Amino acid sequence: MIQIEKVKDYSALSKKAAMFIAAEIVQKKLPVLGLATGSTPIGTYKVLRELYQEGRLDFSSVRSVNLDEYRGLSPEDSHSYRYFMNEELFNHVNIKISNTHVPDGTLKEAKEACESYEELIQSLGGIHLQILGLGHDGHIGFNEPSNHFPAKTHCVKLTEETINANQRFFAKKEDVPTEAYTMGIGTIMHAEKILLLVSGKDKASILQKVLEGPVTPDVPASILQFHPNVILIADEEALSLCKTV
C-alpha cells in the first residue's frame, strides 16, 4: 500500500521528508536507515544537517546502509556515492563513520562484494526506514527495467538512459561507470518502512506508471504497490498525471 503525501514543491518535499526521517531517528533506539543518493534527497539531507546544527536531532545512535555504489570507484573518488554521503550528510552531523555503510566499489569480485553487503544488512537486523528516489525509467537503487525482480544485492550493468542521466555529474559520458553494486528489490522490500521521494514534471509519467500501472519488472518501482508501509512524498508537478490523487 502506498500512502501519498502531496506537497507544493521541492522545498516542501525536502522539509517533510527530513521531519519523517527525524521522527524515525527519535523513536528508534538503534535506527537503521537505508539511504539514497542522486539529486532528489540533497534537499532532505540539508534539512537534516540544519536540525542537527540547531541541536534538535542526534545522529549518534544511527546506523546507515546505502542503496548502491558505482563499481570501480574508490571512496575517495569525488563521483563515488560514499564521497557524496560524506559531503552531503555524514561530515556535518555526529554520526559515527564506522556506523555508515556503502557497498565497496573497489572489490573486483562481484560475488564477494554483494554477499558481504547482504550479510552486513542482516547483521544490523535489517532496515527500519529505506529512502528511495525514482529513476526516469522506474528504477529504484540501480535495479533497472528487466524481466525479473532481483532479490538480493547484485552487480548491474547500467542502461544507456541511466548513464545519460548520470552524465551531468561527470566531465564526459565516457567517465560514467557502466556497472554498479545495488541492493536488490527483495532487500529493499524487506525494509520495515519505505520513503519514496519524487519531484518534478519530468518524473510525472513514470510516477503514474508506478502508482497506477501493473506491477512489472519493466517498471521496477511498481513492486512498491505490494509493500505494506510505503510513504510517497511527491510535489504537485510529479503527481500532475496521476488520476487517483
58: annotated active-site residue: no
| Core vs surface per residue 29-48: b (16+ CB within 10 A) or e | eebbbbbbbbebbebbbbbb
Reported as a single tens digit per residue, the pLDDT across 122-131 is 999 999 999 9
- Catalytic, out of 68, 69, 88, 235: 68
- Catalytic, out of 24, 69, 88, 139: 139
Q: Which of 118, 119, 100 is nearest to 155 (CA)?
A: 118
Reported as a single tens digit per residue, the pLDDT across 84-112 is 999 999 999 999 999 999 999 999 899 99
Reported as a single tens digit per residue, the pLDDT across 142-165 is 999 999 999 999 999 988 988 988
φ, ψ at 20 (rounded to 5°): -65, -45
Q: What is the pLDDT of residue 150?
A: 93
Rounded to two decimals, what is the model's pTM? 0.95
- What percentage of the chain reaches a pLDDT higher than 70? 100
Q: What is the band of 191 on the pLDDT scale with cuts at 50, 70, 90? A: very high
Residue 134 has which C-alpha cell?
525514482
**For residues 24-48, average pLDDT:** 97
137: annotated active-site residue: yes
Mean pLDDT check: name the lowest of 3-7, 170-174, 208-212.
Answer: 170-174
pLDDT at 78 over 90: yes
Q: What is the CA radius of gyration of the chain?
A: 17
- Catalytic, out of 24, 118, 144, 235: 144
- Catalytic, out of 69, 137, 235, 237: 137
**For residues 168-176, average pLDDT:** 88
Query: In one letter, which amino acid is 108?
Result: K
Residue 78 has which C-alpha cell?
569525488
